A and B are shown apart, each in its own frame.
Chain A
Amino acid sequence: MAGKIWFITGASRGFGREWAVAALDRGDKVAATARDLDTLTDLVQKYGDAVLPIHLDVTDREADIAAVAQAKQHFGRLDVVVNNAGYGQFGFIEELSEKDARYQFEVNVFGVLWVTQAAITVFREQGFGHLLQVTSMGGLVASGPLLGIYHSSKWAVEAFSEAAAGETKEFGVKVTMIEPGAFGTDWSGPSSMHAEALPAYARQRGIAEERWANPPVAAGDPSATSVAVLAVVDSDDPPLRLLLGARPLPIIKADYESRIAEWDKWNDVSVAAQG
């Protein structure tokens, strides 16, 4: 298989960086975006012309469209676009400021949407292309407190990406949502934002933070995910959704079962509403 050409947002750290390195190590070419270009300097030194560093804040729609166009022009085509840039906004729903809530959506939803739109246009023209949307197990379940607006943002990406997959299939475009469970990135550390605390939630916050500090199971190793991501982009028939990690699936199944049990329990009432 000829080397692939990637466009990866948020390549300064975390999964974005892992996958950029994995692609470059096997000889693929990567347009890597970051808000701070200095974070990509070592990649440029090591991989030279195989990497195209692009300064990008994904919340800027015009810049997103220009960056995708620049990458396509530079390398001649685009095979894989990875919407990886994002962060976690912590806070009980009542605690979130208007700014907290809006910024979570600017980056995690609108940033992804603008890059997605730009990528689809290029992919349709080419007649091929693979869009990877980095969501989360938290883009599927939201049973706990403290991350409501983050869940909201990732559920939103899951929804419009599924619609986009159906809309672009006939043009040869593939869409895969990458849904990591807990991994040892700095997602819940320096990368995260925190709303101003309300005293009313102090007790619950203590419980939630205790759980974050001492997770019941060990986090996954981010470097182990690259094999899965490479396998997905090399697949002729990639999945719409791929979980990263062994643990999310039973958790999601249990959540779906509990939703279905509740809907079933109230189904007579639901049916009565049909009229």
Chain B
Amino acid sequence: MAEKVWFITGASRGFGREWAIAALERGDKVAATARDISTLDDLVDKYGDLLLPLKLDVTDYDADFAAVAEAHAHFGRLDVVVNNAGYGQFGFIEELTQEEARAQIETNLFGALWVTQAALPFFREQGSGHLLQVSSIGGITAFQNIGIYNASKWALEGFSQSLAAEVGPFGVHVTLIEPGGFSTDWGGSSALHSTELPDYADAHAAAAASRAARYSSPGNPSATSDVILAIVDADEPPLRIFLGETPLATAKADYASRIAEWEKWQHLSSAAQG
């Protein structure tokens, strides 16, 4: 198989950086974006012309379109576009400021949407292309204290599933990558936190304990690279794939519980049909 050309947002650290390196190591070419382009210096030193570093804040609609076009012009095509840039906004729903809520949606949802829109004309023209949307188990289930993050990732899941139906006829693939807990700095230095309301002190302690239990044995980010390469090399990649051992059981239990509740109230639902 010929080498692939990638476009990866948020390549400064975390999964974005892991996967950029994995692609470069096997001789693929990567347009890597970061808000601070100096975070990509060592990759440029090591991989030379295989790497195109691009300064990009994904919340800038015009800049997203320009960056994707530049990558396409530079390498002559685009095979894989990875919407990886994102972060976790922590806080109870009542605690979020307008700015915090908006910024979470700007980066995690609109940033991914604009890059997606920018990639589609090239993918349709080529008759091929693979969009990888970095979602989360938190894009499937919701947890206390990260509701607006959950909202951003559920929203990403929603438009991406619909999109898969829209662009399948053009030979374009969409895959939602759904990591469980990994030892990236997602919950650490990358995260933002709302100011806590005193009334929620006990609830915060409980939410923190619950989160600690969920993330008791985080995965190793570097182990995900082979999986990502397998997905982009697959003839029929999945629409959704979890990364890690724990998400599947979580999702199954959540769906079962939703279905049980709907069934319990189905008499009322049916009566509402009229």
Contacts and interface: CB of A to CB of B under 8 A. Distances in A.
A93 B113 contact: yes
B262 interface: yes
B271 A266 contact: no
Nearest to A138: B158
A227 B98 CA distance: 35
A149 interface: yes
B114 interface: yes
Contact of A249 (B94, B109, B224, B262): B262
Contact of B241 (A166, A181, A266): A266
A274 B108 CA distance: 24
Given A267-B248, A270-B242, A270-B248, A167 B92 contact: yes
Interface in A129-173: 139, 142-149, 151-164, 166-168, 170-171
Contacts of A26: none
A160 B226 CA distance: 33
A126 interface: no
B245 interface: yes
Interface residues of A, number: 90
A72 interface: no
Contacts of A181: 273
B274 A93 contact: no
Given A143-B161, A155-B155, A244-B272, A239 B144 contact: no
Interface stretch (B36-44, B66-74, B162-170): B162-170
B159 A160 contact: no
B243 A273 contact: yes
Given A143-B165, A263-B248, A274-B219, A245 B269 contact: yes
Contact of B255 (A204, A260, A274): A260
B101 to A, nearest CB: 6
Interface stretch (B2-10, B26-34, B49-57, B146-154): B146-154
B269 A159 contact: no
Given A94-B117, A262-B239, A120 B255 contact: no
19 contacts: A94-B167, A98-B61, A105-B109, A105-B110, A124-B94, A142-B159, A145-B162, A146-B162, A151-B162, A155-B157, A157-B151, A168-B94, A239-B264, A241-B258, A241-B261, A249-B259, A256-B255, A260-B255, A273-B242
